[in-house]
Amino acid sequence: MYAMLPPPNLLAAKTPHLIGMATDHAGYALKEHLKGKLCEAGYEVIDFGVLRPQPDDDYPDFVVPLARVLSHHEIDRGIAICGSGVGASIASNKVAGVRACLIHETFSAHQGVEDDDLNMLCLGGLVVGYALAWELVLTFLSARFSGEERHRRRLAKVAELESIR
């Protein structure tokens, strides 16, 4: 049988304030832009790197530490960026408790949180422009998990898959 998640009132419904960010060289410019916008908007940002991009740096070296901190609930939400966003998403989802998704449109940015308790937004630094990326980040951060029983039931099934690893 599937383990159940805590009741909705115990799930993280607070406004996210502490945001972790990570990227490789291909997403560095977008990360820096978004980090500045987030700080201006009153969010606290922890930067997991890359701090000085090098052409041979690898996204898992920065994204996985972010995912681990997120999985331990030491930050509220995560934003991972690589060239396409695909690698950042794949690497992040290898960490149990992380629900990361590559998002390039606003519906999924809020629906992923509302229905699937998405906690990490992945973006393609070579794919989305600054304006759209900022809109996606704001949409992601303002969304809340619904806590509906059907969504909790589905997430419990995902959590069971993670325990098999």
39, 82, 101, 122: the active-site residue: 82
Contact 92, 68 (CB under 8 A): no
| Owner of token pair 């509220």 | 76
Measured CA to CA in angstroms, residue 13 lies from 7, 8, 99 at distances of 12, 8, 16
Distance between CA 96 and CA 107 in Å, rounded? 25
From the DSSP assignment, how many helices (H) and strands (E) are in the chain?
A: 6, 5
Contact 59, 91 (CB under 8 A): yes
* Residue 101 known to be catalytic: no
Q: Which residues are catalytic?
A: 82
